[in-house]
Amino acid sequence: MSDRSLAIADFLQQGHFADWHQTPLAGDASSRRYFRLTTASGQSAILMDADPATGQDVTAFLRIGAHLRVIGLCPPEILQQDSGAGLLIISDLGPVHIADWLGARPDDAGTLYTVAVDVLGVVMDHPPPSGLTIIDAEQAGAMLSPLFEHYCADHPDIAGITGALQEVWCEVAPESTTLALRDYHAENLIWRGDRRGTDLIGLLDFQDAVLAPPEYDLVSLLRDARRDTAPVLRRSVTRHYCNMTGRDADQVRAAMACIAVQRNLRIMGIFARLAAQQGKLRYLDLLPRVWGHVTEELQHPDLARLQAVVLKSIPAPEARLLQRLRQS
């Protein structure tokens, strides 16, 4: 038994979970691991293994989760913790995330995504925690480094792309004051159909929360790397967001386009890095969708200069490039 397995066994012995059955759950893009703990009587909880030896730290998860509970939202409850060891037992919010639910019931998309936006409304209605990283124009440009290092290392116009992005970010998305959970997408939102209001959604994977423009998480939700969202759904949900917040629809659309290009260019670099460094080749299969998000959002007239430099310098994820990334 490895040292980590011994540490987990000791941690479970400290509470009443030692004899609970462990079932591995699908992980995310990080090195965190998750296990569902169950009993024969139907009780369940989740073990989070965030090994500090792999660079993980549960402090932010605990802090942001506490904030979300205070403002009336539904992150997991902390049932047992050893933060120094990177081990948590958290409440099980349920087995069905929005992506799973919609896989079987696609006609429910409008309802589920509308509730997801209502959750963002609650977040926006409360002051964010202090001390968070701020995604302003300068940081937005700096965050493209994985794209240049891992996806297109063959002399892209780094200065041109970064400069054009920062210029349009300053123009259309200057307010980096809203708490953004950052990975706010359908596989991180647990659907709990027996609840009401924003309790319908349980929140996961918020430890990388930042301060960002108000539309940041709306873009994360609607321009999902893992699933397609229909144009009519995006329009309907964006309209609901504008009605809820009172924000100007044209300004919202311009901000969303800029943020979507930045996020998805960064994601392309991260997915290439995951393939090269961790052998997670499945992420390469998502690159065509992510590139599609980029090229479609670049059509916004406020992004004309950014469009020109991105399309000139960044190659599309066509077969030859994908093959090279698989072999790198």
Q: Which domains does the chain have, with CATH numbers?
A: 3-91 (3.30.200.20), 98-327 (3.90.1200.10)
Helix pair 158-172, 304-313: axis angle to 10 deg: 160
pLDDT tens per residue, range 156-201 = 899 999 999 999 999 999 999 999 999 999 999 999 999 999 999 9
Confidence of residue 139 (pLDDT cuts 50, 70, 90): very high
Q: Is 283 helix (H, G, I), strand (E, B) or coil?
A: helix
Show the tokens assigned to 7.
Answer: 């540490």
| CA 46 vs CA 2, 86, 93: distances in Å | 21, 14, 9
Residue 60's φ and ψ, nearest 5 degrees, are: -65, -40
Contacts of residue 286, defined as CB under 8 A and 6 or more positions apart, other chains included, come to 225, 226, 271
**Core vs surface per residue 262-291: b (16+ CB within 10 A) or e:** bbbbbbbbbbbbbbbeeeeeebbebbebbb
Show the tokens assigned to 102.
Answer: 């919609």
In this predicted structure, what is the pLDDT of residue 27? 64
* Angle subtended at Cα 232 by Cα 183 and Cα 227, rounded to the nearest 5 degrees: 35
**pLDDT score of 75 more than 70:** yes
In this predicted structure, what is the pLDDT of residue 131? 94
The rounded mean pLDDT for the chain is 95
The stretch 49-57 carries a mean pLDDT of 92
Q: Is 2 helix (H, G, I), strand (E, B) or coil?
A: coil
State percent of the chain over pLDDT 90: 92
pLDDT tens per residue, range 274-301 = 999 999 999 999 999 999 999 999 999 9
Contacts of residue 37, defined as CB under 8 A and 6 or more positions apart, other chains included, come to 17, 20, 21, 22, 44, 45, 46, 47, 89
Q: Which amino acid is at 306?
A: L
**pLDDT score of 28 more than 80:** no
| CA 67 vs CA 77, 83, 92, 168, 181: distances in Å | 12, 17, 19, 32, 12
Length of the chain: 328
In this predicted structure, what is the pLDDT of residue 268? 98
Q: Is 150 helix (H, G, I), strand (E, B) or coil?
A: helix
